[in-house]
């Protein structure tokens, strides 16, 4: 199994922290974030939905927008969206 490194900027991590702080169900956000990390590490190209130059993955209540560099085995998270 090919594993990918997952990275994000400090700003993206801060946005996720703010989502968590404002969420009515913090446990759901934590579970979704953990599942997203696992998927992005193992199957970012097959589980995500291809967008114009990026991918989208939803694990309720979060959606993540990300880029994949297969040659570098690298996933870069661009944005988290809370749908709660």
* pLDDT band at residue 40 using 50, 70 and 90 as cut-offs: very high
The pLDDT of residue 25: 97
Distance CA(52)–CA(14), nearest Å, equals 25
DSSP, collapsed to helix, strand or coil, labels residue 56 as strand
In whole angstroms, what is the distance from residue 75 CA to residue 5 CA?
6
Q: Compute the average pLDDT of residues 9-33.
A: 98
- The mean pLDDT value for 25-35 works out to 98
Identify the CATH number of the domain in which residue 55 sits.
Answer: 3.30.2310.20
- Residue 69 is part of which domain span? 5-82
pLDDT bin (cut points 50, 70, 90) of residue 1 is: confident
């Amino acid at each position: 199994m090919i594993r990918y490194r997952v990275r994000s900027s400090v700003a993206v991590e801060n946005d996720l922290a703010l989502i968590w702080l404002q969420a009515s169900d913090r446990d759901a956000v934590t579970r979704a974030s953990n599942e997203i990390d696992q998927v992005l590490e193992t199957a970012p190209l097959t589980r995500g939905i291809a967008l114009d130059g990026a991918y989208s993955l939803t694990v309720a209540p979060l959606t993540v927008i990300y880029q994949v560099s297969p040659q570098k085995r690298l996933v870069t998270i661009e944005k988290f969206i809370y749908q709660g």
